[in-house]
Amino acid sequence: MNRRMLLGALAAATIAAAPLPLAAQETVKIGLIIPLTGPFTTTGKQLEAAARLYMQQNGTTVAGKKIELIVRDDAGRAENTARIATELLTNDKVHFLAGFGLTPLAMATAPIATNAKVPMVVMMAGTSIITERSPYIVRTSFTLGQSAVIMADWAAQNKIKTVVTLVTDYAPGHDAETSFVGQFEKQGGKVTEKIRVPIQNPDFAPFLQRVLDAKPDALYVFTPSGVGAILMKQFVERGLDKSGIRLIGPGDITDDDVLNGFGDAAIGVVTAHNYSTDHPSAKNKEYVAAFRKANNFRPNFASVGAYDGMHLIYEALKKTQGKTDGDALLTAMKGHKWESPRGPISIDPETRDIVQTIYMRKVEKKNGELYNVEFASFPDVKDPVKAAKK
């Protein structure tokens, strides 16, 4: 190689290594991967609506950078989520991965986020272990244990002595079962049967007949968001609503999104959860009004996971002054504290998991609509599964 060629090669290398043109550098991209088709479409719709509402209210420029949201449908299938995450990183060069409507979808993406050193904001999935799968994961949703333990205490203190548990047979269902059973039995309660129902095409009817025959004081149920509608229909068809067996559980079963379709049979169902459309704070009233105005449905607990996830992304970018280095963004997110429509929340700096108030609620009819009306609150609840491991 002569001198001129060498200089030419060096110049080409310099150009290749030079910073991107200003326009490309100025955009921060968020890849939102959610189920917009398939059995968990309602979850995806809630997540997308809330993320868009946050951007509409807070603008699309943060720390001098333009924010771009790229929405992709994974149909609730983990192989799609992982493929889409890789495409978003490689082709679109996203700076954040977000969404994750179900646990298996988050689990499949965790190693991809680790390899790319890109923050992964889990806005819906609720299995405890998820945050341990990558140091780049932060969670703005909830864990099933948070509600299950509070629910168990309430049951034990409210004349419920025997319980049958019925959960969807996958990781969050197992967490919901284990946390409830452990705490309820610690309080002297008795779990007489533990039933697990497949996630695909669930038919609760045969199990509900068994529950009717066993006559426990309460039936504790976990199903993922939206699926509660099938359970409730079969609960009424089998006459369990008139059997004296109380229906209790984490609030996924009385999901605000589908609750109105349950009819009056749902009145009186008691659940523990992190968010109710009916939460009486000024911040939530404003949120619900804006959400309803922008969409033709009301916000549920999935929506606040996305709304708060967007807030966390915006605030982290402000703290890093627009820098998109994954480690710097994670540092900015750890320990962040703010007021959500659900109440005060923070990101545990040690676990990167959410700390939040859990509410006891009862389904009531107000102005012709069914709501989860809060009657007790338990502030600063951390994930009990991780706390027990320490």
Binding mask 148-177 toward ligand DHB (x if CB under 6 A, else -) reads ------------------------x-----
Task: Specify whether the CB–CB gap between 361 and 272 falls below 8 A.
Answer: yes
What is the rounded CA–CA span in Å between residue 254 and residue 361? Answer: 10
Considering only 94, 107, 125, 191, the residue that binds ligand DHB (CB under 6 A) is 125
Binding mask 338-357 toward ligand DHB (x if CB under 6 A, else -) reads --------------------
Question: Is residue 224 within the footprint of ligand DHB (CB under 6 A)?
Answer: yes
For ligand DHB, the binding residues in 43-62 under the rule CB under 6 A are: 43
Report in angstroms how near the CB of residue 365 gets to ligand DHB at its nearest: 23
- The DSSP annotation for 117-170 comes to T--EEESS---GGGGGG-TTEEE-S--HHHHHHHHHHHHHHTT--EEEEEEESS
Nearer to ligand DHB, 257 or 278 (CB): 257
Which residues, other chains included, contact 111 with Cβ-Cβ below 8 Å and sequence gap of 6+?
A: 133, 134
Nearer to ligand DHB, 103 or 284 (CB): 103
Helix or strand (DSSP H, E) at 347: strand 343-347
Question: Is residue 231 within the footprint of ligand DHB (CB under 6 A)?
Answer: no
Question: Is residue 134 within the footprint of ligand DHB (CB under 6 A)?
Answer: no
Report in angstroms how near the CB of residue 142 gets to ligand DHB at its nearest: 8
Backbone φ/ψ region at 380: left (φ over 0), alpha (ψ -120 to 50), beta: left
Report in angstroms how near the CB of residue 38 gets to ligand DHB at its nearest: 12
What is the rounded CA–CA span in Å between residue 34 and residue 44? Answer: 5
Nearer to ligand DHB, 176 or 240 (CB): 176
DSSP 8-state class, residue 255: -
Nearer to ligand DHB, 141 or 340 (CB): 141
What is the rounded CA–CA span in Å between residue 107 and residue 84? Answer: 14
Report in angstroms how near the CB of residue 126 gets to ligand DHB at its nearest: 4
Considering only 48, 217, 252, 308, the residue that binds ligand DHB (CB under 6 A) is 252
Considering only 81, 109, 225, 340, the residue that binds ligand DHB (CB under 6 A) is 225
What is the rounded CA–CA span in Å between residue 233 and residue 67? Answer: 43
- CA of 18: how far to CAs of 21, 326, 353, in Å? 9, 21, 38
Considering only 46, 80, 103, 146, the residue that binds ligand DHB (CB under 6 A) is 103
For residue 222, which phi and psi values (nearest 5 degrees)? -120, 125
Nearer to ligand DHB, 171 or 317 (CB): 171
The one-letter code for the residue type at 309 is: G
Question: Is residue 102 within the footprint of ligand DHB (CB under 6 A)?
Answer: yes
Question: Is residue 128 within the footprint of ligand DHB (CB under 6 A)?
Answer: no
The one-letter code for the residue type at 347 is: I
Report in angstroms how near the CB of residue 78 gets to ligand DHB at its nearest: 11
Nearer to ligand DHB, 172 or 326 (CB): 172
Q: Which listed range, 59-67, 68-76, 81-89, 124-132, lies at the site for ligand DHB (CB under 6 A)?
A: 124-132
Considering only 31, 76, 126, 326, the residue that binds ligand DHB (CB under 6 A) is 126
Q: Which listed range, 123-131, 153-161, 352-360, 374-382, lies at the site for ligand DHB (CB under 6 A)?
A: 123-131
Strands 246-250, 218-222: pairing kind: parallel
Nearest in space to 145 (alpha carbons), one of 123, 166, 163, 127: 127
- CA of 388: how far to CAs of 1, 29, 222, 287, in Å? 65, 37, 21, 35
Report in angstroms how near the CB of residue 141 gets to ligand DHB at its nearest: 8
Task: Specify whether the CB–CB gap between 222 and 273 falls below 8 A.
Answer: no
Catalog residues that contact ligand DHB under the rule CB under 6 A: 43, 102-103, 125-127, 172, 224-225, 252
